Structure 1
């Protein structure tokens, strides 16, 4: 796969992992040998970028509308461990990230870069992902891990898995006021 064909403009300057052929998000943790640990967010980098108003995926300045991507639990709690990002970067992640894009792809459990999952995180993959789009957020450190609380949403986008196990956006059928 040539990822440059599918990347939004904002992601085109990201380094590409030669082994997987995928862009390396700005907040991706690194193993001691420098290799990317795609299963783990570098919490310090996530907080730094968020405090500077930068996207956790591409590292560029955020727009007025900010996206968060997580499962139904993140939506219910209005709390995300993954940092704020551009909507286009979040959308690209639903296509490019093997863990998100394919139902049967499991996260590697070897966390040599940081050692732990954030408290209250689940190893089990949700059956759907929800993109929360808003105009702001607050950032906290809880038990040494970043936690992002988005402002009230402007809109939500839901992504579910097809019978074939690939992620796709589910049309919004909710009634409009």
Structure 2
């Protein structure tokens, strides 16, 4: 029987490095000593993915449909600083990432050890130790790149969304 915490890696993602049987997303930073900082983003790759419309997981061009994985608190702003994903990359992430999948009840309480050339996410301090939120998959035909709180972001405020589906509702205590 397959472990539900470690989903099978789709063929389209087999070109990516792995750690602990999980793929390392293309936007995940790696320290000089070889640690992959899951839950963090490489700001340079994030920006390139947003501007070039590349998938944040596999690093390949987005073509038709794109999915933004967003926290409940991000939905009213209709934008995300994390790049959009291919539908199959979003599906894998929604099962593989413990935060998005709802297997963690809180964000990490201590910040990751960053290299001197790395920056923390702008909202990292606010999330540190905070309760996890429900996550949603926002399906898009396209998005516009904007600046949100000083960071590049994918916005669907002007382009609209195709559908919004809950990834996890566990933290709303309605199931």
Equivalent residue number for residue 121 of structure 2: 117
- Work out which of the residue numbers 126, 129, 152 in structure 1 matches 2:160: 152
- Secondary structure at 1:115's aligned position in 2? coil
Change (3 A) 1:44 1:156: same
| Structure 1 gap ranges (5+) | 171-177
| Counterpart mapping for 1:118-137 below 5 A | 118-119=122-123, 122-123=126-127, 124-137=130-143
Equivalent residue number for residue 18 of structure 2: 16
TM-score by length of 2: 0.77
Change (3 A) 1:96 1:120: closer
Equivalent residue number for residue 103 of structure 1: 104
The alignment's C-alpha RMSD in Å is 3.0
Change (3 A) 1:99 1:24: same
Equivalent residue number for residue 74 of structure 1: 74
Report how many aligned residue pairs link the two structures: 163
TM-score by length of 1: 0.77
- Structure 1 CA distance, aligned partners of 2:140 and 2:97? 22
- Secondary structure at 2:40's aligned position in 1? strand
CA drift at 1:85: 0.7
- Structure 1 CA distance, aligned partners of 2:16 and 2:45? 15
CA drift at 1:97: 1.1
| Residues 70, 129 of structure 1: 8 Å contact kept | yes
Deviates most, 3-12 or 76-85: 3-12
| Residues 40, 111 of structure 1: 8 Å contact kept | no
Is 1:7–2:35 an aligned residue pair? Answer: no
Equivalent residue number for residue 144 of structure 2: 138
